[in-house]
Structure 1
């Protein structure tokens, strides 16, 4: 029997972040065709317990290297990364995001026969903050070397267009695959009507009481996520609980204080199973982002049978326009509220055929076939 070719996935975020969850999903996606390992680049920010793996990380074929921060990791990760690659001798080194591009030249030097591939979700960190010294440095030293990779995987046609403009890599080996939906966690096998009767008790167990419904958002605390519009919805509907899964930074706190909201609740660092329960018990999921490279949370919510409404912007329009209501402009609070009211009135309905097509398009099997085909194509070059 011919041994499988080795793929190492390199990730610097834990499995309770979108990048970490994606890393584990890609491991499941590729394992049938490749011998897959994960290398976690660990820093205290995302891995505070340096000697412990989160439950969902256990059982994976993984290793880790440490630095006090990603900035320190620019120097500290290199030597142990070299030792790891020399020992593993992978066929493909698959970087989970372009900000890890500073290790692409290292991999190419240490393993000249291997292929380096970068998964590009978006170029927001590189393009949205032109006056930020921090992001200029990240772009120059961390992300720019991404262009030296042998191939690129994109989560959407939108991300492909933007990345090709920014990195100057048009025409280079690539595949637009989308992102895999883990149907083991996010699926419609359960009867959503069962959860309707349980939503009130679910909210009360979390200390969210005396509200008619729960609206959910999963987002980073960034301006491009248009969190302000989500909070404006909350101000307009004080009888509804608005739950956001994500960190509260100074910017988010300022938005809350300006609106004097008492019906907004925050949760963070959730396991996949806990996040799934929020999806299942939500009455509506809202993704009002100005810019998205893909939109995994609304896809996960749709898979759980939860009503979804998105802004008609960037990749959200590309992926979800035919499946769920979309709102334009992204700041149209009333547009989202109209969808909420239709849900509360029992009038929101999905097109079952469109949903089925969407979930099949981003199933683990579909993404596995696309990724495997692309990996073998660049190995033949």
Structure 2
């Protein structure tokens, strides 16, 4: 049996869904190597547009560049031709709209739930595409019970027909750590609270900045990892305190060091299909203050402190609890490590593979 993987993600920048695809494919590659996936019965191929792709080392899965188009045109017009009659696995929401012999991983339905955060063209195209995926795909997979409910609600797809498979964390567990990064950036002078910024209003970074005004002490720094320029918040009338350090883009190894060195990680997002950053933080022993919305309680379980993302003072109160109680912080570290052990890219890939034959 040939299994083709929609490899358009290899032509894109690595954000959440591209990270998912890369880690799942690497896990598939290992499962073939160990014999869990019988290579005499199954052949895996990644098909990508015939353009520059990011470096991706695999031992047992071949990457083939096909077609003349790129982007959505390649995905909708050319990709179906090259996988005609064979199984196609789409790992990043999108796929050929009318193909039946395919499994599609839909991570969330944010274009329906938070349509104001997307351009008119983007949201309407994705609404149409996701609706087609839900209607024609052999199977829909998603990454949380929350997303299963959202897919059923917005795409009119029966919950019983949607399989939930959680994401994993080996990429942060076994990935390299930039051991001197904290010292080189001067972040070892004071304890710091870590946040991941984003231009997407859904990430709700401005609530963290507002929360800082409620804290009793400023004997710590707030470190922002991500590409957002803090000046973008000036339009909301938010003044960044002097103890905010903006790092800009950070690599995976630098992010791992930031998680490990942080006093805590704050993630007050309004809407997440899964929420990989909190899982990454827990995996390396960083205590978390997490939004109580969407899928995030599924990820955090009983191992985190929860906040109302609409109330900056509530975020501040949870930070204050950690600042005032070292035992609580240590307890969250232990519980976080236990909670993180429940997630695995290997298990994710095994369940996805089993879905092919269900």
Q: TM-score, normalized by length of structure 1?
A: 0.75
For the residues of structure 2 that align with 1:278 and 1:66, how far apart are their CA atoms?
Answer: 41
User: Equivalent residue for 2:205?
Assistant: 227
368-377 vs 13-22, which deviates more? 13-22
Question: What is the deviation of 1:163?
Answer: 0.8
Q: What is aligned with 1:363?
A: 344
Given that 1:94 and 1:117 are in contact with CA atoms closer than 8 Å, whether structure 2 keeps it comes out as yes
Q: 246-255 or 358-367, which moves further after superposition?
A: 246-255
The one of 129, 132, 138 equivalent to 1:142 is: 129
For structure 1, which segment, 244-253 or 161-170, has the greater mean C-alpha deviation from structure 2 after superposition?
A: 244-253
Contact 1:202 1:281 in 2 (8 A): no
Say if 1:29 and 1:180, in contact at 8 Å, map to a contact too: no
CA distance in 1, matches of 2:164, 2:4: 19
Question: What's the counterpart of residue 95 of structure 1?
Answer: 90
- Confirm or deny that 1:243 pairs with 2:220: no
User: How big is the shift at 1:63?
Assistant: 4.2
TM-aligned CA deviation for residue 267 of structure 1? 4.2
Match of 2:141 in 1: 153
Q: SS of the counterpart of 2:330?
A: coil
Aligned-pair CA distance for 1:330 = 4.7
Which residue in the other structure is 1:214 paired with?
192
Do the aligned residues in 2 keep the contact of 1:287 with 1:309 (CA within 8 Å)?
A: yes
C-alpha distance after superposition, 1:116-163 (max 9, x if no partner): 111122111232125952344233443322222111111111100011
Contact 2:141 2:163 in 1 (8 A): yes
Tell me which residue corresponds to 1:349.
330
Instruction: Please list, as runs of the form range in 1=range in 2, the aligned pairs for 1:163-178 lying within 5 A after superposition.
Output: 163-171=151-159, 173-178=161-166
Query: After superposition, where does 1:332-343 map in structure 2 within 5 Å?
Result: 332-342=314-324
Q: What corresponds to 1:288 in structure 2?
A: 268
SS at match of 1:258: coil
Task: State whether residues 229 and 248 of structure 2, in contact with CA within 8 Å, keep that contact through their aligned partners in structure 1.
Answer: no
CA drift of 1:328 comes to: 3.1
Could you tell me which runs of 5 or more consecutive residues in structure 1 were left unpaired when the two chains were aligned: 43-49, 109-114
- The separation in 2 between residues aligned to 1:127 and 1:151, in whole angstroms, is 22
Local SS of the residue matching 1:361: coil
Q: For 1:41 and 1:340, how far apart are their aligned partners in 2?
A: 49
- Give the corresponding residue for 1:372: 353
Give 3-state SS (helix, strand or coil) of 2:228's partner: coil
Q: Is the 8 A contact 1:27 1:36 kept in 2?
A: no
Find the counterpart in structure 2 of residue 111 from structure 1.
none
Aligned to 2:63: 62
Contact 1:126–1:135 under 8 Å retained in 2: no
Q: Deviation of residue 81 (structure 1)?
A: 2.1
| Paired position in structure 1 for 2:300 | 320
Give the C-alpha shift of residue 292 in structure 1: 1.6
1:67 deviation in Å? 9.2
1:14-69 per-position Cα deviation (integer Å, ceiling 9, x unaligned) = 46322222112101333322544434569xxxxxxx64624xx244743457999x
Write the mapping of 1:23-172 to structure 2, written as runs, cut at 5 A: 23-31=21-29, 32=31, 33=37, 35-40=43-48, 51=52, 53-54=54-55, 57-59=56-58, 61-63=62-64, 73-82=71-80, 84-85=82-83, 90-91=86-87, 93-98=88-93, 100-101=94-95, 103-105=96-98, 107-108=99-100, 115-129=101-115, 133-147=120-134, 148-171=136-159
State the 1:322 CA deviation: 0.9
- Residue of 3, 8, 21 corresponding to 1:6: 3
Aligned-partner Cα distance in 1 for 2:294–2:309: 12
Tell me how far apart the structure 2 counterparts of residues 204 and 67 of structure 1 sit (CA, whole Å).
Answer: 48
Over aligned residue pairs, what C-alpha RMSD do you find? Answer: 3.6
Query: Quick one: distance in 1 between partners of 2:65 and 2:222?
Result: 37
Q: Secondary structure at the match of 1:217?
A: strand
User: Secondary structure of the equivalent of 1:301?
Assistant: helix
Report deviation, 1:251: 8.8
